[in-house]
Amino acid sequence: PDTLRLMYATEESLEIAISQAYAGNRLADLCASVENCVRQYGYSVVKEMVGHGVGRDLHEEPQVPNYWDRFSMGTGPKLAPGMILAIEPMINAGISDIEILSDHWTVVTKDRAMSAHYEHTVLITEGAPEILTPRPRLVSREMIGSLPR
């Protein structure tokens, strides 16, 4: 149940972030929506790794963190039609700190708590955001029962 709850919260944070991905909205508001969502569950966001713009190269500007300084809300670049963003909530059940193991690839939480990572690539349009990597939701509310917050 704890694993499913973490997965559910991470997917929910992704969906909420996508709901902010409209032309004219600020990147800061999209980013902050992830952290605001998962904090309600008592989880933390990985700050060392972020989503990103997608274009000719896979990883381009702007960086899309899963948090934003609350004093900077309503700031940062405005989203514009044609932008493509990889929105990638990385959520930890414990502390936000991570470490990279000696193989220089494996990433773990410093406290060895569970972590979840979901991603969608999203096109900013004149209207609703278009998810370029659609897939069904992996964890439903019915699978985990009640969600104490």
What is the CATH classification number for the domain harbouring 77?
3.90.230.10
Model-level pTM?
A: 0.89
3-state secondary structure (DSSP) of residue 80: coil
Residue 26 in domain: yes
Of 25, 34, 26, nearest in space to 119 by CA: 34
Q: Which residues contact 62 (CB under 8 A, 6 or more apart)?
A: 27, 52, 53, 76, 77, 85
| 143 within a domain of the structure (yes/no) | no
Q: Give the pLDDT score at 140.
A: 80
The answer to whether residue 141 sits within a structural domain is no
pLDDT tens readout for residues 71-102: 666 677 899 999 999 999 999 999 999 999 99
43 within domain boundaries: yes
Categorize the per-residue pLDDT at 17 as very low, low, confident or very high, splitting at 50, 70 and 90.
very high
> H or E stretch including 144?
helix 141-144
Give tens-digit pLDDT for 47-61. Answer: 999 999 999 988 999
Strands 120-123 and 90-92: unpaired
Quick check: is 146 in a domain?
A: no
Residue 64 near residue 31 (C-beta atoms within 8 A): yes
In total, the chain counts a number of residues equal to 149
Query: Given CA atoms 131, 36, 5, 103 in this order, what sign does their dihedral have?
Result: positive
Of 40, 39, 42, 59, give the one whose Cα is nearest residue 51.
59
Question: Residue 140 domain-assigned?
Answer: no
Q: Is residue 147 part of a domain?
A: no
- For the stretch 131-140, pLDDT in tens is 999 988 888 8
| 95: in domain | yes
What total number of domains does the chain contain? 1
Domain extent at residue 87? 2-134
Convert the pLDDT of each residue in 96-114 to its tens digit: 999 999 999 999 999 999 9
